[in-house]
Amino acid sequence: MKLTIERIGHLGDGVAQGPDGSVFVPGVLPGEEVEVDGSVVRIVTPSVDRKKPPCVHARTCGGCLMQHASDAFVEGWKTGIVRGALAGQGLEAAFRPTVTSPPQSRRRATLAARKTKGGALVGFHARGSDVIIPVPNCQLLHPDLVATFPALEALVRIGGSRSTEVDLTVTRSLAGPDVAVQGGKEIDAQMRLELARLAESHGIARLTWGGEVIALRTAPMQRFGAALVSPPPGAFLQATAEGEAALLAGVREAVGGAKRIVDLFAGCGTFSLPLSEQAEVLAVEGEAAMTAALEKGWRNAQGLKRVTVETRDLFRRPMEPDELKGVDAVVIDPPRAGAEAQVACLAASKVPVIAAVSCNPVTFARDARVLVAAGWKIDWVQVVDQFRWSSHVELVARLSRQ
């Protein structure tokens, strides 16, 4: 079947009109003529935006979707996703230039693994499959993460299974790899000893197995501004250092010279701690382990203004307008579901400025519509693409009360 690709959908597939309606085709670009025979796609007329994938695993690995497209095309596509989400809520905004993280910059990833008859498989799933594709030459991950593969394979040989998969969350820290394992065998005394020896021999800073810390060679520190923080195992961390820096720069610009800031969904202090160089910050987060790490990082740092930490479920108990009296700016970085209840309270508050960070343009637009209806304005939006070659989109925006 010969098709002409009309556009790229939100998940990265090309969309064309077939005899029975829309047809979704992977690995293509708008304007391309293609021939589709089952799962085989042949490019008849390539787009000027088509390029050779930089990674040798691109055809088989499902970790990246858009390596066949130019950077300029991907940038425009992701900006279009955000514009479309805003337009769907009747909104528009001025867009700042997109900031894209470079190749080989992902400092945190969850890899799939399985024990095999001859050893272990560690990598990403093939697209739409449970087949694990080894990626020794991955162009997405930071080289320090790729260097952990021998250690990860050894972990799986000790504690993995041939019948079930193991999830390996690996984070680059200042002290070495921080590894959290889920789905492995139930641990016993002998296995505990073997894993501890492996962590020592491979320089793993911290090894967590099923939520239990098995080995802590040294605290896996992350730097947030002037503070050093040891996040709890598996805690949220921005995917790249470059992406985090871009989001922080946008947040700093949005809050301006604010002297009293509330940071909602504060995590381990990605924004709270750098902002405390200029302002007093109330950091609110639902996970107690994260707030404890944030507070400890602040107490051990020098030259920062006061950071007050509160553990609070903002979905069940959002900060009310009267609690936000006297606050100069709010930073909000909710999970993908957005923050409907908290945004309703912000809409009714007198806070003059909001720095909004989002990993989901759809829920960002939904929440922004509530604020705009209450008299706020979206001053600008900046797309930050730290999930390079994927369909994932992040952004930072400034909203001000009119």
Instruction: Express each pLDDT in 145-190 by its tens digit.
Output: 999 999 999 999 999 988 899 999 999 999 999 999 999 999 999 9
**pLDDT value at residue 388:** 93
**pLDDT value at residue 47:** 95
**pLDDT value at residue 293:** 98
Q: Where in the chain is the domain with CATH 3.40.50.150?
A: 74-102+237-401
Mean pLDDT to the nearest integer, 361-387: 97
Q: Are strands 353-358 and 329-332 parallel, antiparallel or unpaired?
A: parallel
Tokens in use for 109? 């990833």
Tokens in use for 233? 């195992």
**pLDDT value at residue 253:** 98
**pLDDT value at residue 128:** 83
**pLDDT value at residue 45:** 94
Please give the Cα distance from 100 to 69 (Å, whole number).
Answer: 14
**pLDDT value at residue 39:** 80
List 227's β-bridge partners, or say none: 224
User: Which is the catalytic residue, given 138, 268, 345, 359?
Assistant: 359
3 state SS for the chain: CEEEEEEECCCCCEEEEECCEEEEECCCCCCCEEEEECCEEEEEECCCCECCCCCCCCCCECCCCCCCECHHHHHHHHHHHHHHHHHHCCCCCCEEEEEECCCCCECEEEEEEEECCCCEEEEEEECCCCCEEECCCCCCECHHHHCCHHHHHHHHHHHCCCCCCEEEEEEEECCEEEEEEECCCCCCHHHHHHHHHHHHHCCCCEEEECCEEEEECCCCCEEECCEEECCCCCCCCCCEHHHHHHHHHHHHHHHCCCCEEEEECCCCCCCHHHHCCCCEEEEEECCHHHHHHHHHHHHHCCCCCCEEEEECCCCCCCCCHHHHCCCCEEEECCCCCCCHHHHHHHHCCCCCEEEEEECCHHHHHHHHHHHHHCCEEEEEEEEEECCCCCCCCEEEEEEEEC
Please give the Cα distance from 279 to 39 (Å, whole number).
Answer: 56
**pLDDT value at residue 18:** 86
Cβ proximity of 235 and 267 under 8 Å: yes
- Note if 359 is an active site residue: yes
**pLDDT value at residue 390:** 94
Q: How confident is the model at residue 57 (pLDDT cuts 50, 70, 90)?
A: very high
Mean pLDDT to the nearest integer, 209-227: 96
Give the model confidence (pLDDT) of 193-211 as tens digits. Answer: 999 999 999 999 999 999 9
**pLDDT value at residue 364:** 98
Q: Residue 19 pLDDT > 90, yes or no?
A: no
**pLDDT value at residue 38:** 83
Range in 57-71, 240-254, 355-369 the model is least confident about: 57-71
Percent of the chain predicted with pLDDT > 90: 91
Range in 13-22, 67-76, 188-197, 362-371 the model is least confident about: 13-22
What fold is seen in the domain 2-50?
Answer: OB fold (Dihydrolipoamide Acetyltransferase, E2P) (2.40.50)
Q: Where in the chain is the domain with CATH 2.40.50.1070?
A: 108-222
Binding residues for S-adenosyl-L-methionine: 238, 265, 285, 333
Q: How many CA atoms lie within 13 A of 178 on its CB side?
A: 23
Q: Residue 209's closest CA among 223, 198, 224, 221?
A: 198
* CATH number of the 108-222 domain: 2.40.50.1070
**pLDDT value at residue 100:** 97
Q: Residue 127 pLDDT > 90, yes or no?
A: no
**pLDDT value at residue 50:** 97
Task: Characterize 122-135 residue by residue with b for buried, 16 or more Cβ atoms within 10 angstroms of its Cβ, and e for exposed.
Answer: bbbbbbeeeebbbb
CATH 1.20.1250.20 fits 74-102+237-401, yes or no: no
Q: Residue 316 burial (CB < 10 Å; 0-12/13-18/19+)?
A: exposed
More confident residue, 22 or 346: 346
Cβ proximity of 101 and 243 under 8 Å: yes
Mean pLDDT to the nearest integer, 239-248: 97
Q: Residue 270's closest CA among 245, 289, 253?
A: 245
Q: How confident is the model at residue 10 (pLDDT cuts 50, 70, 90)?
A: confident
Q: Where in the chain is the domain with CATH 2.40.50.140?
A: 2-50
Mean pLDDT to the nearest integer, 57-77: 94
Give the model confidence (pLDDT) of 306-358 as tens digits. Answer: 999 999 999 999 999 999 999 999 999 999 999 999 999 999 999 999 999 99
**pLDDT value at residue 20:** 84
Binding residues: 238, 265, 285, 333
Cβ proximity of 373 and 273 under 8 Å: no
Mean pLDDT to the nearest integer, 63-86: 96
Please give the Cα distance from 222 to 135 (Å, whole number).
Answer: 26
List 240's β-bridge partners, or say none: 106
Average pLDDT, the chain: 95
**pLDDT value at residue 363:** 97
